[in-house]
Amino acid sequence: MGNVRLQLRASLLAFAIFAISTTLLFLLVQGFRNVAAALPLPKRLPTFSPLDAIAAVLDMRPFIVLGAGILLAAALALLVRSTLLDRGLQMLASMLALVLASIIGVIVAFSALLAISEHRLVIPPGAVPAAICFAVVLVASFATIESLRRSLLVRSFMVLALIVGAPLVLIYGM
């Protein structure tokens, strides 16, 4: 249970750090824009749109490919007993959970700032899949491959499900 609590705390910390730093970054950009408007610059500064930043962060294609790869690697790990492979998969799932928590922090901060500055609530279309992906990866980071190896029936079912699931995630996620 200590591992679960540690992963939850780390994800919450990543979310909070990126939400706060994104808010500060947005305020710095606004301040820089205001100062630059008063200076005699030869060219105008390019415009910055928080919606463009959210769209860039919500490009989930690399994470979909990684997720499909993790599923296939987990099937291999269930067939081959390797402590190194088990630990590597757990670390990769934990890292992916932290990255997704950070992405959600950026989305929430920019959406809140847009809601305050433009008086409208903006929920980007990719925000819900990002939250679902985070929840799935977080739960996967809690599971241990060793616990799934205990029963031949569970192991066989999981290997089959992971082998079928990996290409489906890739096909439907892209």
Closest CA to 129 of 163, 158, 103, 166: 103
**Residue 47: phi, psi to the nearest 5?**
-75, 150
Question: In which band, very low, low, confident or very high, does the pLDDT at 1 lie, cut at 50, 70 and 90?
Answer: low
Q: Give pLDDT, residue 14.
A: 92
Which contacts (CB < 8 Å, 24+ apart) does range 19-25 have? 19/105, 19/106, 19/108, 19/109, 20/109, 22/105, 22/106, 22/109, 22/110, 23/109, 23/112, 23/113
Neighbours of 38 (CB within 10 A): 7
Both structure tokens of 47: 């415009």
Q: What percent of the chain has pLDDT over 90?
A: 7
Both structure tokens of 98: 């932290």
Residue with tokens 């029936």: 153
pTM score > 0.85 for this model?
no
As a whole number, mean pLDDT of residues 54-76 equals: 82
Report how far residue 108's alpha carbon sits from residue 123's, in angstroms, rounded to the nearest whole number: 9
**Position with higher pLDDT, 124 vs 161:** 161
Inter-axis angle of helices 127-142 and 61-79, nearest 10:
20
